[in-house]
Amino acid sequence: MTVLAMSSSLERQLHQPATRNNSKIVSELLHDDFEEIGRSGRHYDKRQTVAALEQETGRPVIHAEDFKLAMMTEGVALLTYKSFQRDAAGNITRRTLRSSVWVLSEHQTGERWQLRFHQGTPATE
């Protein structure tokens, strides 16, 4: 599997309610030093993110598209993409430009990719 396919698959997994509400899975996907600058402009760390996602309910489906990958160095990848949601009438809402830094981390079970940094920026398009 290519790094682009892997990272976009993991991003989409993080958009799924079953993943978002499972603190064990989210904790494995997020690097211990994870940081996020949310769409709101607020800053979050791993502990805050895991706790918030575990409590999340009733959130609309997040759609993601236009994934692009740039390898920053060996074992560090920058993934950019666009996301949006749909309202009850089917109109596109909450368009967001997203950036994620994925790092290849060593663990007892071997190497795995983890999300080290994420930022969402409201889009006007």
CATH number at residue 96: 3.10.450.50
Cα four-point dihedral sign 11, 119, 21, 33: positive
Residue with tokens 């830094």: 101
Q: Give the amino acid at 28.
A: E
37's CB contacts (< 8 A; 6+ apart) are 43, 44, 118, 119, 120
Q: What is the pLDDT of residues 42-75, one digit of tens each?
A: 999 999 999 999 888 877 889 999 999 999 999 9
Give the structural domain span for 18.
Answer: 3-122
pLDDT the model gives residue 12: 96
Distances from the Cα of 47 to the Cα of 23, 30, 44, 98, 114, angstroms: 10, 10, 8, 21, 15
Q: Domain count for the chain, please give it.
A: 1
Give the global pTM. 0.91
> Where does 36-124 have alpha helices with state H?
46-55
Read off the pLDDT of residues 88-98 as tens digits, 9 standing for 90 and up: 899 999 999 99
